Amino acid sequence: MATQGRRRAFGQHFLKDQSISHEIAQTAVDQALKHQCKALLEIGPGQGAITEPLLERIQGTSLSDQFCIVERDPRIAQFWIEKLRGSSTRLELGDFLEVAQEKWMRQKPLAVVSNLPYSAGTAILVRLAREFVHIPVMVLMFQAEVAKRLMAGPSESGRGSLSVWIQNVWDVTSLRHVPPKAFSPPPQVDSEVVILTRRALPHIAVFESPVHEKKWESLLKACFAHRRKMLRSTFPWPEVLKASGVDPTLRAEALDWPQWEKLFQNSMDLLKNG
Residues 198-210 have pLDDT tens digits of 999 999 999 888 9
Model-level pTM?
0.92
Interaxial angle between packed helices 18-34 and 51-58, expressed in degrees from 0 to 180 and rounded to the nearest 10: 40
Q: To 10 degrees, what angle do helices 144-151 and 121-129 make?
A: 30
67-80 tens-digit pLDDT: 999 999 999 999 99
Domain range 4-198, its CATH number among 3.40.50.150, 3.40.50.620, 3.30.70.360, 3.30.160.100: 3.40.50.150
**CA separation for the pair 58, 159 (Å, rounded):** 36
> Nearest CA to 32 among 2, 7, 1, 68?
68
**Measured between alpha carbons, how far is 68 from 135 in angstroms, rounded to an integer?**
14
Q: State percent of the chain over pLDDT 70.
A: 94
Size of the chain in residues = 274
Instruction: Give residue 271's pLDDT.
Output: 59
Domain 210-270, what fold? Helicase, Ruva Protein; domain 3 (1.10.8)
Q: Could you read off the pLDDT of 152-185 as tens digits, one per residue? A: 999 999 999 999 999 999 999 999 999 999 999 9
Dihedral over Cα of 14, 20, 22, 28: its sign: negative
Q: What is the overall mean pLDDT for the chain?
A: 92
> Is the pLDDT score of 1 beyond 90?
no
Could you give the dihedral angle defined by the CA atoms of residues 18, 143, 221 and 264, in that order, rounded to the nearest 10 degrees? Answer: 40
Helix or strand (DSSP H, E) at 93 = strand 90-93
Domain boundary assignment for the chain: 4-198, 210-270
Give pLDDT tens digits for 21-63: 999 999 999 999 999 999 999 999 999 999 999 999 999 999 9
Please state, in angstroms and rounded to a whole number, the distance separating the CA atoms of residues 8 and 244: 48
Cα dihedral 80, 16, 98, 132 in deg (nearest 10): 110
pLDDT, residue 178, reads 98
